[in-house]
Structure 1
Amino acid sequence: MRKVALKVAYIGTDFHGFQRQPDVNTVENELINALKSADLIDNLKDSGYAIAGRTDRGVHALGNVISFRTPEDVVINQINDQLPQSIRILAKAGVPFGFKPRYAKSRHYRYVIAGKEDLDLDKMEEASKILEGTHDYSNFSKRSERNPIRTIDEIKVSKKDNILIIDVIGESFLWNMVRKIASVLFLAGNDDMSIDDVRKFLGPSGNASITPMPPEGLILMDTVYQDVKFKYDDYAREKFLKALGEEYLYNGTIASVEKVMMDGLGE
C-alpha cells in the first residue's frame, strides 16, 4: 500500500464546480470515476481520498491536488485516458500516510481581466499592499465565517498585452475571498474606490458588501507543500496545452462572431 498525491488541471467552464454532486457534471465526479476505472481505488473511504480545496463553478486550475492510498502503481496517463480532455493529471508525488492535501504551505491564485485598458495600475498596486499581511477578512467572504483571520503573503498586479493579471498568494483563503480582492482592486484601478475606502474593508467592523468578480477569470495556479516534490509528466502537459489551445480558438471564434453581430446591430 502506498499514498500518492496528484496535481490536477482543468478548464472549469463546463463543470458545476470541483466538488462532487449528484446529477450534475463536476470535476471531482470525473476524477473519482477515472480512479475507479483505472483500478486505483475501490471505496473512497477506505482509500483515504482527500482534496486540497473546492473551486466554484467556472473556476479553472493548474494546480489543485488530490491524494489517496492504493496498492497499485500509479501511472498518470492511465488515469488521463479515462478523463475528458478538459481535465488532466499533470504530476504525482509519493507522500507520507499522514499527508493531508488541505494543509498546504501556500496556494497561488491568479485572476485575469481582459479588455480593460485604462486602469490605474499604480493605484491598484498601492491598494494591493494594503490588503497584504494578516488581517480580519470578514468583508471579503461570508459574515458567518468562524475564523476570518487569514494571511496573504503577496499580491502582485501586472499587465501583459491587454490582459490584467492579479496574483494572490497565501496559505489559505475564505470562500470568494480572491474574487472579492480582485473586485476591490479593479474598482480602485477604475477610480470607483479610494485608497481610504480599501483600508475600511479590513477588519470586522461595518456591513461592507463586495460583489465578487466573475468566477470564469479565476485560476488556481498551484498548491505547494513542505517537503513534497511533484514529478510532472511531459506528455500530460502537452495534451493539456493542446486542449487549452482548442478552447482558446473556440472562444476566440465565438467572441469574433459576437463582435460582428454587435457591429451589425449598430449599423
Structure 2
Amino acid sequence: MRAYRIAYDGTAYRGFQRQPHGETVEDALLDALRSLDVLEAGEDTPPGYAAAGRTDAGVSALAQTVAFEAPDWLTPRALNGELPADVRAWASAEVPREFHATHDARSRTYAYHLHAPKAAERLARAVAERLSGEHDFHNLTSDDDGTSRHLRASATREGSFLTCHFRAGGFPRGFVRRAVRLIEAVATGDRSMKFVDRVLAPEPLAGPDGVGAAPPGPLVLLSVTYGIGFAVDERAAASAREVFGSRRATASARSRAMGMLADGV
C-alpha cells in the first residue's frame, strides 16, 4: 500500500469525490490510473483505495491524501504524467496493508482567506476562540448526526485578509464555510458575540437566523496528519510549484485588472 499527497486547484471541479454530474478531482485521478494500467478492466478503484475526505466544488487542497495498492514504479512524478496540470501528486509514503486514508487520519486542517479589510481582527479572534473546544455544531452544518467535534480555530489579520484556520479530527458537511461566515458577520458588526452563543445552543436555527456558507474559492484543505512520514518527490514538487505559481500570477494579474474597473467606474 502507498499513500500519496495530492495538491489541486479546485476551480474547475465539482469537488473531490465522484458524482453523477460534473468532473471531479477523483475522476481525474482514477482516469490517470486507468491510463497507467494500474486499474484493471472492470475495476472502479484499485484495491484498498480510500481518500482523506471530500472537498466541495471549487475548494482546493495542498495535502489531500489517497492510498491504494500501487506498483513500485508508481512515483508521484509518474502519476503526474497522466494527471491534468491542475492536479499534482508531490509526495508518497509506504503504509501498512490495513491503512485507510479516511479513518486513520488524526487531524485535518483547513485555511480560509477571507477578504475583509474592514473587519475587526479582535472580534474575529474572539469568535474563533469561542468556537474552539468541544461543541455540537449542528447549526453550522446540514448533517443530522456526527455534529459534535473538538475544534481548534484561529483568525489572524494579513493585510486586507483574515486568514482563518480550523483543525479537527473531522468536519461535518459545510462546517468550515459556515464558520467563516459567522466570523465575518461578527467581525464586521452585522452580528454580536451573543449570536455565537445562540449558534452553539441546542435549539436549531432556521430561516433568516441561519448561517449561510462563505464562497468555496478561498478555502484550502491545508493538511491531513497520520503519524507517518511522507517522502517528497522533488521533481513532482517542482512541477507543482511551477503550475500553481503560474496560476497565482494569472490570478494576481486578473485581480489588478478588476481593481482598475472598480476604481475607474
Q: TM-score, normalised by structure 1?
A: 0.91
Q: Deviations over 1:156-209 (max 9, x none)?
A: 111223322001111000011011111111111111111111111114313241
- Cα drift, residue 23 of structure 1: 5.4
> Aligned equivalents of 1:105 and 1:62: distance in 2?
17
Are residues 161 and 234 of structure 1, via their aligned partners in 2, closer, same or farther at CA, if it must alter by over 3 Å? farther
- Residues 29-48 of structure 1: matches in 2 within 5 Å? 29-42=27-40, 43-45=43-45, 47-48=47-48
Instruction: Determine the structure 1 residue equivalent to 2:120.
Output: 120
CA gap of 1:58–1:45, structure 2 versus 1, over 3 A, is: closer
Shift of 1:22: 4.2
Distance 1:35 1:51 in 2: 15
Q: Is the 8 A contact 2:30 2:45 kept in 1?
A: no
Change (3 A) 1:242 1:46: closer
Contact 1:140 1:180 in 2 (8 A): yes
**Residue 12 and residue 46 in structure 1: after superposition, are their counterparts in 2 closer, same or farther (change >3 A)?**
closer
Distance in 2 between residues matched to 1:204 and 1:237, nearest whole Å = 46
Structure 2 CA distance for aligned equivalents of residues 128 and 263 of structure 1: 33
Listed as ranges, the matches of 1:58-77 within 5 Å are 58-77=58-77
Whole-angstrom distance in 2 between the partners of 1:98 and 1:202? 37
| 1:79 aligned partner, one-letter code | L
- Is residue 2:51 matched to residue 1:51? yes
Give the deviation of 1:112 after TM superposition.
0.4
Partner of 2:197: 199
Would the aligned equivalents of 1:41 and 1:70 in 2 still touch at CA under 8 Å?
A: no
- Which stretch has the larger CA shift, 240-249 or 15-24? 15-24
Give the deviation of 1:49 after TM superposition.
1.3
Q: Distance in 1 between matches of 2:244 and 2:24?
A: 18
Please say if 1:177 is aligned against 2:175. yes
Extract unaligned runs of 5+ from structure 1: none
With over 3 angstroms needed to count, the CA separation of the structure-2 counterparts of 1:211 and 1:150, relative to structure 1, is same
More moved, 200-209 vs 59-68: 200-209
- In 2, the alpha carbon distance for the partners of 1:225 and 1:67 equals 12
Percent of aligned positions with the same letter in both sequences?
29
- In the TM superposition, residue 263 of structure 1 has moved relative to its aligned partner by 4.3
**In the alignment, structure 1 residue 148 sits paired with structure 2 residue 147:** yes
* Cα RMSD after superposing both structures: 1.7
Q: Residue 83 of structure 1: CA displacement?
A: 0.9
1:83/1:46 CA distance change after superposition, 3 Å: closer
